[in-house]
Amino acid sequence: MKLKFVLVPVMILGLSIGSYAEETKWITSSKKVCVGYGGKINNEGVCKAKWLDAEDICRASGGRLPSRYELKKVLVDCGGIIDFLQN
């Protein structure tokens, strides 16, 4: 199973996350899609958007937003610390 994620405003990252996903791929949207769905392209060419707009941008780009679990998994795998009291 191949998954595509668009994480706004994160650039393209090649990433393999644990056994629950065979392959994940971070993608960026086109300028037309980003701006068309309420986002803005910053100086680095990265689409920045509000979370509610990001869902539409992801869908139009052929992907989806990562789940909360997937985001936590990436954070921990990269050495981050999650404050479980804050959720």
Taking only the tens place, the pLDDT of each residue in 49-80 is: 998 899 999 999 988 888 888 888 888 888 87
Q: How many helices (H) and strands (E) does the chain have?
A: 3, 5
pLDDT at 42 over 60: yes
- Average pLDDT of the residues in 75-87: 72
The number of angstroms, rounded, from the C-alpha of 77 to the middle of its chain's C-alpha atoms is: 16
pTM for the predicted model, two decimal places = 0.59
> CA–CA separation, 81 vs 41, rounded Å?
30
pLDDT over 60 at 2, yes or no = no
Burial bucket for residue 16 (CB in 10 Å: 0-12, 13-18, 19+): exposed
The pLDDT of residue 35: 96
Q: Is 30 left (phi over 0), alpha (psi -120 to 50) or beta?
A: beta
